[in-house]
Amino acid sequence: MRRTFAVALRVLDQLRRDPRTIVLVLAAPLLVVFLLHEVLESGSPVPRIAVVGSDRLAAALKDRADVLRPADAQAAAELLERGEVDATVELDEGSGLLGSSPAVSVDAADPSASAAAMRALREGLADFAQSSLPGFAKAANPRVSYLNGSTETTSFDFLAPVVLCFLVFFFTFILAGIAFLRERASGTLERAFASPLRRRELVAGYMLGFGAVAALQTAVIQLFVVLAYRAPNAAGFLPALAVNLSVAFAALAMGLFLSAFASTEFQLLQFIPLVVVPQVLFAGIFNLRSGPRWMLALSELFPLTYAGRALRDLMIRGRPLFTVLPDIAILCAFGAAFLALAIWGLARYWRG
Amino acid sequence: MRAASLRELRKSYGPVRALDGLELDVEEGEVLGLIGPSGSGKTSAAKALAGLLKPDRGEARVYGELMPAREALSRVGYMAQSDALFLDLDARANLAYFAALQGMGGRAASARIAELLALMELESDAWRPVRGFSGGMRKRLSLAIALVHAPSLLVLDEPTVGMDPRLRLRMWERFRSLAEGGAAVLVTTHVMDEAERCDRLALIFEGRAIASGRPAELRDSRGVASLEELFLEARP
């Protein structure tokens, strides 16, 4: 026990005297959250639409887009060609309202711009139809009620839980992996092996020391996401913290384990495309519901899948903690398994 | 009494044969020098005694226990060629950490650390991070760590590299007094005037001890005038 504490205290002592790492551990995740928030909340672009013909359609679109009025279809096509508008619409009111259907052209090069233009057109045309023929177009404007959130639920809100657990995972993984590696490269690990220290005491000490740092880091990131950006946190602070701490535990164990198979920091970084990137793709940023079966099966292998799911249930859907206990248990099982593997992996260097 | 023995020790790293049936005994109260060309197996022999090398064949025993035995490890003080220090930590924290790994703590550990810092003339630098230490200072701190738990077998792999002559002299006086106190001291070295100071020398060549004896005996039996010559002509 004394040796375990000695390792833990030494790890903390090293961190304390390494301001750059402290800044990295605490400030870098906050910077990432800040940037992500700014990017996602910068809003969808206001579409630019050229309207030919109908004045009333142009009026209906005014609130939803920057409307240009070229003289004829030829001029509108040129605007679209030059990229000055995202879409053109031509509607001839003179031939009777139901006589002609609107002709729409969209520049599909930028999906987000064309999607915004299409949405504005759909809504504008629905308004236009309703004002022209009251009652006729009622079906086009359903009354909508929202479960789990509201119209105010933004992309950032939806992504915040996943980003939160990803940041916790990534920074804990890197921190523990590199510290362990550095210890091996410097020869201090070998020197420790020449003492009566047991492998499990060493790993336990690392878990304890970095666990404390990871807990602090986790709390800071979570506070930042929830307080500064008012991300939904329906279930409260502590249940989400419980999930994030189990993520940190799994990340720590994985970092310690994988660092045994890297001989330089560069080699450890090479594990990132293998271990970290797939997790991001599969952990819930993209909806995999209609993906092939192998993809769903693969996503079950990644700790972040469970973490992302649990955090969304807690933060967005406001479910109580006990409903995500299975996910927490799986995360802890990942951690325990990698911990055992880390102790086993050390045998490569232990009195070998 | 015998502090340690290596019997028929063999170890290969891939195609490289580091130890090829090495036989070696270390007695209490002696300073034993391992000499031999680079790559002859001196470091591997030292590692085997510190429990850091798993032999392919043969055995390493320290105080009768087959290495790596945890009980025996607490009686061994090992100093590798690399300094193996935590550069972010100060000298005292480095010592305190390795003392704790040896199970030492509290006032006893503090007293021992203060004593060693004084011995190594590092008192005034005790609170400075090791990153700012010169090569010689690092070497001294590294040696202090090897001594922190008052081991009875010292395994020192080129301990005086980078030290100035005055400190080197002091270190050898220290080794001598440890041996007189009953400790067994094993030192690998390339420096022939250091080899002259050993009670006994073992000449290692291609993973085997090809000769051993007091420095004078070795010179006579090999018919050479100096250890330098012995070293240069080393072959079975």
ipTM of the complex as predicted:
0.85
* Orientation angle between helical segments B106-119 and B135-147, nearest 10 degrees: 140
Length of chain A: 352
Q: Are A256 and A206 in contact (CB under 8 A)?
A: yes
User: Of B88, B93, B145, which has the smallest distance from its Cβ to A18's Cβ?
Assistant: B88
Nearest residue on chain B to A184, alpha-carbon basis:
B84
Give backbone dihedrals phi and psi of B66, rounded to 5 degrees, phi first: -70, 125
The residue written with tokens 């091996």 in the block is A184
* Amino acid, res. B231: F
Query: Looking at per-residue confidence, does B199 or A352 come out higher?
Result: B199
Q: Give percent of chain A with pLDDT exceeding 70.
A: 88
How many angstroms separate the Cα of A200 from the Cα of each of A55, A180, A192, B176, B190?
78, 14, 13, 37, 38
Question: What DSSP letter does each residue of A221-250 carry, written as one string?
Answer: HHHIIIIIH----TT-HHHHHHHHHHHHHH
Residue A39 confidence (pLDDT):
81
Residue A352 confidence (pLDDT):
44
Give backbone dihedrals phi and psi of B27, rounded to 5 degrees, phi first: -100, 150
Across all residues in chain A, what is the average pLDDT? 81
Query: Is the pLDDT reported for residue B143 higher than 70?
Result: yes
Chosen for mutation from B12, B49, B82, B97 (greatest number of chain A CBs closer than 10 Å) is B97
CA distance A33 to A159: 11
pLDDT in tens, A143-198: 666 666 665 566 777 777 888 888 888 888 888 888 888 888 888 888 888 888 88
Residue B94 confidence (pLDDT):
93
Nearest residue on chain B to A191, alpha-carbon basis:
B84
Cβ <8 Å between B98 and A352? no
Cβ <8 Å between B51 and A351? yes
Residue B201 confidence (pLDDT):
86
Both structure tokens of B198: 């050993």
Give mean pLDDT, residues A228-243. 77
Q: pLDDT-derived band of residue B170, with 50, 70 and 90 as boundaries?
A: confident
Interface check for B82 against chain A (CB to CB < 8 A): the answer is: yes
Q: pLDDT-derived band of residue A295, with 50, 70 and 90 as boundaries?
A: confident
Kindly state the DSSP code that residue A265 receives in the 8-state scheme.
H
Residue A137 confidence (pLDDT):
54
Cβ <8 Å between A191 and B97? no
Q: Are B92 and B113 in contact (CB under 8 A)?
A: yes
User: Of A7, A191, A351, which has the smallest distance from its Cβ to B80's Cβ?
Assistant: A191
Cβ <8 Å between B52 and A187? no
Cβ <8 Å between A13 and B93? yes
Preceding amide of B68 cis, omega within 30: yes
The residue written with tokens 């004002």 in the block is A131
Provide the CB-side half-sphere exposure for A244 (13 A, CA): 32
Q: Distance (Å) from the C-alpha of residue A255 to the closest C-alpha of chain B? A: 20
Nearest residue on chain B to A188, alpha-carbon basis:
B84
Q: pLDDT-derived band of residue A324, with 50, 70 and 90 as boundaries?
A: confident
Interface check for B74 against chain A (CB to CB < 8 A): the answer is: yes
CATH of segment(s) A48-147? 3.40.1710.10
Q: Distance (Å) from the C-alpha of residue B144 to the closest C-alpha of chain A? A: 13
Both structure tokens of A350: 């232990």
Give mean pLDDT, residues A224-246. 79
Q: Are B41 and B19 in contact (CB under 8 A)?
A: yes
CA distance B27 to B194: 19
Q: pLDDT-derived band of residue A94, with 50, 70 and 90 as boundaries?
A: low
Cα of A172 vs its chain's centroid, Å: 17
> Distance between terminal CA atoms of chain A?
24
Q: Are A107 and A114 in contact (CB under 8 A)?
A: yes
Task: Could you list the beta-strand ranges (E) of B73-199.
Answer: 76-79, 153-157, 184-188
Residue B93 confidence (pLDDT):
92
User: Of A3, A18, A194, which has the smallest distance from its Cβ to B76's Cβ?
Assistant: A194
Residue A333 confidence (pLDDT):
93
Query: Looking at per-residue confidence, does A351 or B235 come out higher?
Result: B235
Residue B215 confidence (pLDDT):
78
State chain A's maximal CA–CA distance in angstroms.
Answer: 95
Interface check for B98 against chain A (CB to CB < 8 A): the answer is: yes
> Start-end ranges of CATH 3.40.1710.10 in chain A?
48-147
Query: Is the pLDDT reported for residue A229 higher than 90?
Result: no
Interface check for B19 against chain A (CB to CB < 8 A): the answer is: no
Chain A residues inside the 8 Å CB shell of B88: 14, 17-18
Name the strand (E) or helix (H) holding B13: strand B2-13
pLDDT in tens, A23-47: 877 888 888 888 888 887 776 678 8
pLDDT in tens, B19-57: 788 888 888 889 888 888 887 888 888 888 888 888 888
Interface check for B100 against chain A (CB to CB < 8 A): the answer is: yes
